[in-house]
Amino acid sequence: MADIDPGREAARRLDRIAQASEAGAGVTRLPFTAQHRAAVELISTWMQDAGLAVRMDAAGTLIGRQEGPDGAATLLMGSHQDSVRNGGAFDGIMGVILPLLALESLRDMGVSLPFAVEVLAFADEEGVRFPTALMGPRTLAGTFDMSALDLRDANGTSLGQAMREYGLDPTDLPGLRRDPRTLLGYVETHIEQGPVLQHEGLPVGIVTAICGIERHIVTLTGQAAHAGTTPMSLRRDALAGAAELVLAVESHAAGVPGLLATVGQLSIEPNVVNAVPGRTSLTIEVRAPDDGTREAAGREITAMARDIATRRQLAVVSERTYAQPATRCDPDLSDRLEKAARRAVGQTVRLASGATHDASAMADLCPVAMLFVACRDGVSHNPREHASASAMGQAVLVLKEFLRQTAADLSS
């Protein structure tokens, strides 16, 4: 790889792995699917090209390991291989490819590191197929709740079943827990998914903190009825109830500083033109930099759902299916990353992340730091998501400098 441009090589690889997707606009690569398997094949090749030993753990995390001296600690890097539906080609997977290019380049320069490095490609960070997320980092941190294996996708397949069909044995998950004493930390590279770096005219930034998040599923049950013979006053319309809840969630969040709430999914039964909807199910996602604000909003939304249901004579079931507290990035690791960025590319900036990441859960295992890469117009979770080859090339330079700086710090 000695004479190639890492930014252009990253763009080439991202174009290639974007094909590991369901048909349709953008990238749709959900965990434990044929698309995931196709991506794993490509990433394995790139890990081998970088001279790493490749294996997959019981959580479906693909691990490329560069050994260090006997007994040396390990630096973890990487991100997630999965995408949202019709998402972009950079979210997650770019954070797997860039560290591989940095390691490959250092190896070609004859630089050996006094520590081991593992590049991790986590199977499921988005939590789009199953109503939970971050299984990979949570199993490494020992915080994974095994009951999540019973959660089901839209086809009724449980997470545990999908893993077994993929060739994994979920009973091995508890054994994945890592000993934090063997780790130097976890550094994740990720497209910013926001407009700040572009606005500042910078290629990379250092993340200060990652927002907290929780997800709820609310099911409202009324009475399916004939649209032509049921008077308005006698209806128990589950969709009208859901619509009232959607607007109540929106106006609540608009009134609380720092709070974001989103209804992203809504299912309707029987979902036909001439029947009053008898049942609706909606997802409500709540995010805030501060966990108290987020948890209070979660409680408030549950109460709103209950009040609307009571007034409309609907039955209501509210379930919080996923939560991940806000995460502060480790100051020392972030300082070293910032120093590396200043040395490698000059200016940089510190910024918070409104998106959640694998680092959110890795922070329960070891110190974490994140390197953001500029995102065109801040567009993400969208086929138009884009990071330039130039910014990605500069991010590779930062990662190389960070690895060298870590070696220097360990040897001093």
Task: Using CB under 6 A, list all residues that contact ligand HGY.
Answer: 91, 125-126, 355-356
Q: Shortest Cβ distance from residue 185 to ligand HGY (Å)?
A: 21
Both tokens assigned to 356: 């959640």
Which residue lies nearest ligand HGY, judged by its C-beta?
A: 355
Nearer to Mn ion, 91 or 244 (CB): 91
Nearer to Mn ion, 29 or 400 (CB): 29
The item of Mn ion, ligand HGY, none sharing an interface with residue 356, based on CB under 5 to 8 Å by kind, is ligand HGY
Q: Is 219 exposed, middle or buried (0-12, 13-18, 19+ CB in 10 A)?
A: buried
Nearer to Mn ion, 180 or 378 (CB): 378
Binding residue (CB under 5 A) for Mn ion from 57, 91, 338, 385: 91
Residue closest to 281 by CA, chosen among 301, 295, 263, 261: 263
The item of ligand HGY, Mn ion, none sharing an interface with residue 192, based on CB under 5 to 8 Å by kind, is none
Nearer to Mn ion, 91 or 104 (CB): 91
Cα distance between residue 242 and residue 239, in whole Å: 5
The item of Mn ion, ligand HGY, none sharing an interface with residue 276, based on CB under 5 to 8 Å by kind, is none
Residue 285: CB atoms within 10 A of its CB come to 17
CA 380, 386, 392: angle at the middle one, nearest 5? Answer: 120
The dihedral formed by the CA atoms of 400, 402, 405 and 406, expressed in degrees to the nearest 10: -110
R_g of the chain computed on alpha carbons: 23
SS3 205: strand
Both tokens assigned to 255: 């009134």
Nearer to ligand HGY, 126 or 338 (CB): 126
Q: Shortest Cβ distance from residue 190 to Mn ion (Å)?
A: 6
Q: Shortest Cβ distance from residue 227 to ligand HGY (Å)?
A: 37
The item of ligand HGY, Mn ion, none sharing an interface with residue 60, based on CB under 5 to 8 Å by kind, is none
Residue closest to 381 by CA, chosen among 6, 25, 46: 25
Residues forming beta bridges with residue 261, ordered by sequence position: 286
The dihedral formed by the CA atoms of 199, 201, 204 and 206, expressed in degrees to the nearest 10: -60
> By CB under 5 A, is residue 104 in contact with Mn ion?
no
Q: Shortest Cβ distance from residue 280 to ligand HGY (Å)?
A: 23
Nearer to Mn ion, 20 or 220 (CB): 20
Q: Look up residue 22 and give its DSSP letter.
A: -
Q: Shortest Cβ distance from residue 117 to ligand HGY (Å)?
A: 24
DSSP string, 95-139: HHHHHHHHHHHHHHTT---SSEEEEEEES-SS--SSS---HHHHH
The item of Mn ion, ligand HGY, none sharing an interface with residue 9, based on CB under 5 to 8 Å by kind, is none
DSSP string, 206-260: EEEEE-EEEEEEEEEE---EETTTS-GGG---HHHHHHHHHHHHHHHHHTSTT-E
Nearer to ligand HGY, 207 or 238 (CB): 207
Both tokens assigned to 271: 């979902």
Nearer to ligand HGY, 9 or 126 (CB): 126
Nearer to ligand HGY, 73 or 379 (CB): 379
Q: Shortest Cβ distance from residue 96 to ligand HGY (Å)?
A: 15
Q: Shortest Cβ distance from residue 210 to Mn ion (Å)?
A: 11
Q: Shortest Cβ distance from residue 397 to ligand HGY (Å)?
A: 25
DSSP string, 257-322: TT-EEE---EEEES--TTEE--EEEEEEEEEESSHHHHHHHHHHHHHHHHHHHHHTT-EEEEEEEE
Residue 352: CB atoms within 10 A of its CB come to 15
> By CB under 5 A, is residue 92 in contact with Mn ion?
yes
Piece of the chain touching Mn ion by CB under 5 A; list 88-96, 220-228, 276-284, 394-402:
88-96
Q: Shortest Cβ distance from residue 327 to ligand HGY (Å)?
A: 12
Binding pattern to Mn ion, positions 34-73, x when CB under 5 A?
----------------------------------------
Q: Which residues bind Mn ion (CB under 5 A)?
A: 91-92
